[in-house]
Amino acid sequence: MFSHVKDLQFEAKPDAPDAAFARRLQEVLGGKWGEMTVANQYLFQGWNCRLPGKYKDLLLDVGTEEVGHVEMIVTMITRLLDNAPLSLSEAIADNPGGGAVYAGSNPAHFIHSGAGALPADSNGVPWNGAFITASGNLLADFQLNVTAEAQGRLQVSRLFNMTDDPGVKQMLRFLLARDTMHQNMWLAAIEQLREDGLEDMPVPDAFPDSGEFTDEFGYTYLGFSSGTDAAQGRWASGPAPDGKGEFRYDDNPRANAPEPVLPPGDPRLYGTNPAAS
């Protein structure tokens, strides 16, 4: 059961309207790494979670918080669109430079939503449910969640440098702080999974042993680039993070199977077959 508290988690009020920045802010609302993505991702991971208790609560708590972030950004976008000019003549009537702001705005903000936010990215591409992942494996999902928070924080940081509006910057500072918490939180959750003996690297840990394939291929770095610079990396020598093997570097990867030769295809499919030549 969900309930809606009318107060915002943090204020979402710009000092002045800015339709062009409203368009840019759409990215962290409805883009691939936006708040709509992480909110739905964490909620679906939580709803699908078969472990009652702390892990399920973690996912549903943070997913619910992210719904609040969606509302904050929608509110900010809507306020940035207040009193926006609807024509070029309006834009330049009191401000000769207003034409640039008018040109940078998103027409869909006015045509589709009547000066409101859209479930779309900064290019107007609609948000897509394919952006979310809820695999049922908590370690796999938590590692992706770290990435999602890192990408989201990166985009918010870039937007912070694209505006001079103090009110917008304050909201972005808050979101950056929460992204800091969430990255650390998911990393801590990964550690907790291992401490609880529920999951381990690599995912899935319980997959049947691949025997000689693991011995030969499981910890070998294949150097396909010219030179051996990659051999200096942590991934090319020493113990692997899973504690189960030693990295090694192969600067001359070899083929393990001959060139494939395919038989002629079914003639009813009208492919170009060697048998016809």
Question: What does the H/E/C string look like for 161-181?
Answer: CCCCCHHHHHHHHHHHHHHHH
Residue 238: CB atoms within 10 Å = 11
Domain count, the chain: 2
* Domain match, 138 and 175 both: yes
In the chain, which residue ranges form alpha helices assigned H by DSSP? 19-25, 27-30, 35-48, 54-80, 88-93, 98-104, 108-111, 138-160, 166-195, 212-217
The pLDDT, as a whole number, for residue 272 is 87
> Per the annotation, where are the binding residues for Ca(2+)?
57, 61, 225, 227
Q: Which residues, at least 6 apart from 8, have a Cβ–Cβ distance to it below 8 Å?
A: 68, 71, 72, 75
> Per the annotation, where are the binding residues?
35, 57, 61, 66, 69, 149, 182, 225, 227
* Domain match, 173 and 221 both: no
The pLDDT, as a whole number, for residue 114 is 94
At 217, the amino acid letter reads: F
Domain that holds residue 50: 19-195
* Domain match, 57 and 177 both: yes
Residue with the larger pLDDT of the pair 249 and 274: 249
What's the mean pLDDT in 1-10? 94
* Domain match, 141 and 28 both: yes
Q: How far apart are CA 69 and CA 30, in angstroms?
A: 12
First vs last Cα of the chain: how many Å apart? 67
In a domain, 129, yes or no: yes
The pLDDT, as a whole number, for residue 212 is 79
> Per the annotation, where are the binding residues for Mn(2+)?
35, 66, 69, 149, 182
User: What CATH number is associated with residue 143?
Assistant: 1.20.1260.10
Tokens 């062009």, residue located: 20
In a domain, 273, yes or no: no
Query: Does pTM top 0.85 for this prediction?
Result: yes
